């Protein structure tokens, strides 16, 4: 199975790539990356990849511009080294929130980034929980956008009086899918955003009094939305409140916001490296490495991935996916 398969790690989250490598039993191919004095990125693949199917594991996480350029440069190096096929495994896809023109004279940056990745020479993209599903249509190559939420939230299925909460109307479909898996009702937070980065909670749609609430989202950025939602739920009589999000960007005042006493626990995936400075005791990290390894195996073999994905909705347990404090 592993003949002519190559794993390469970018510098954004090498711990995740190492876990995937261990799950597959395939060593990471050595690569040198560095920054020149003027900030330019350099990459050198240190072993032959001629005729290989290469999987580049690299999140375009903060600093997004640097990590995006590194991905493009590594892919270009692989193409020029005669790699047979290149799959970009991008656990966190940066710029995904700029997916439309909200005002005149704005860019659609998610489309621009998709074009850059294609033009660099990527043949397939694997990612988790794109901010909006339609970004898949910005590519003219296959995109596998996998849902991590069932893996993150499945261990919580034993909690009684459970309600799944979407922090905004846009996340309602995500909440409904998870609520179906956990056989739980949903509630919605109606909010408005007066300016970029600022959120005002307006109303809670649904009964949360006396309920244990899981607030789910694709991203925790500054944590302001989640903290506001938790406070609003507490005001309305909710019991324990747990945040569950795939991507822990944790920018700005995130540590302060997530320290909000209304929040009991924060569950995230390891799609983005979390530095020690950003960690809190209440943050639990669930690894997607085994899931990613299984996906890579299916892609390499040309096998359907539906069985793997359905299995994660039905059979994931704490034993299969270890929670760990970073």
Tell me which residues are annotated as active site.
191
User: Which residues, in sequence order, are CB contacts of 246 under 8 Å at separation 6+?
Assistant: 92, 128, 129, 148, 149, 152, 218, 219, 268, 269, 271
Q: How far apart are CA 128 and CA 198, in angstroms?
A: 25
Per DSSP, helices labelled H in the chain are 14-24, 64-80, 109-120, 149-153, 172-182, 224-235, 254-258, 289-301, 306-315
3-state secondary structure 119-159: HHCCCEEEEECCCCHHHHHHCCCCEEEECCHHHHHHHHHHC
Q: How far apart are CA 187 and CA 164, in angstroms?
A: 6
Per DSSP, helices labelled H in 216-288 are 224-235, 254-258
CA 132-321-314 angle, to 5 degrees, is 70
Do 268 and 242 meet the contact criterion of CB atoms below 8 Å apart? no
For residue 151, what are the β-bridge partners?
none
Q: How far apart are CA 250 and CA 262, in angstroms?
A: 18
């Amino acid at each position: 199975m592993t003949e002519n398969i190559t794993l390469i790690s970018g510098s954004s989250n090498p711990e995740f790539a190492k876990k995937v490598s261990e799950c597959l039993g395939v060593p990471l191919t050595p690569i040198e990356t560095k920054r020149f004095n003027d900030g330019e990125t350099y990459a050198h693949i240190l072993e032959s990849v001629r005729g290989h199917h290469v999987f580049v594991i690299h999140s375009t996480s903060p600093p997004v511009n640097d990590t995006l350029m590194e991905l493009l440069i590594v892919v270009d190096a692989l193409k020029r080294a005669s790699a047979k096929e290149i799959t970009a495994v991008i656990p966190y896809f940066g710029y995904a929130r700029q997916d439309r023109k909200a005002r005149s004279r704005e860019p659609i940056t998610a489309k621009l980034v998709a074009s850059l990745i294609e033009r660099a020479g990527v043949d397939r993209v694997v990612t988790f929980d794109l901010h909006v599903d339609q970004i898949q249509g910005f590519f003219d190559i296959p995109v596998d956008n996998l849902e991590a939420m069932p893996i993150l939230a499945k261990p919580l299925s034993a909690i009684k009086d459970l309600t799944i909460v979407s922090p905004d109307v846009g996340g309602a479909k995500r909440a409904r899918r998870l609520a179906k898996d956990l056989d739980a009702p949903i509630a919605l937070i109606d909010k408005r955003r007066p300016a970029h980065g600022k959120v005002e909670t307006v109303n809670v749609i649904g009964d949360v009094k006396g309920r244990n609430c899981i607030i789910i989202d694709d991203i925790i950025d500054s944590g302001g939305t989640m903290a506001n939602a938790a406070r609003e739920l507490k005001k309305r009589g909710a019991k324990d409140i747990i945040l569950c999000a795939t991507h822990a960007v944790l920018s700005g005042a995130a540590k302060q916001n997530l320290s909000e006493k209304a929040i009991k626990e924060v569950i995230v995936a390891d799609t983005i490296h979390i530095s020690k400075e950003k960690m809190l005791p209440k943050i639990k990290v669930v690894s997607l490495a085994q899931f990613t390894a299984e996906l890579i195996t299916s892609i390499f073999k040309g096998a359907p991935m539906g069985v793997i994905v359905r299995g994660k909705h039905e059979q994931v347990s704490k034993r299969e996916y270890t929670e760990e404090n970073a």
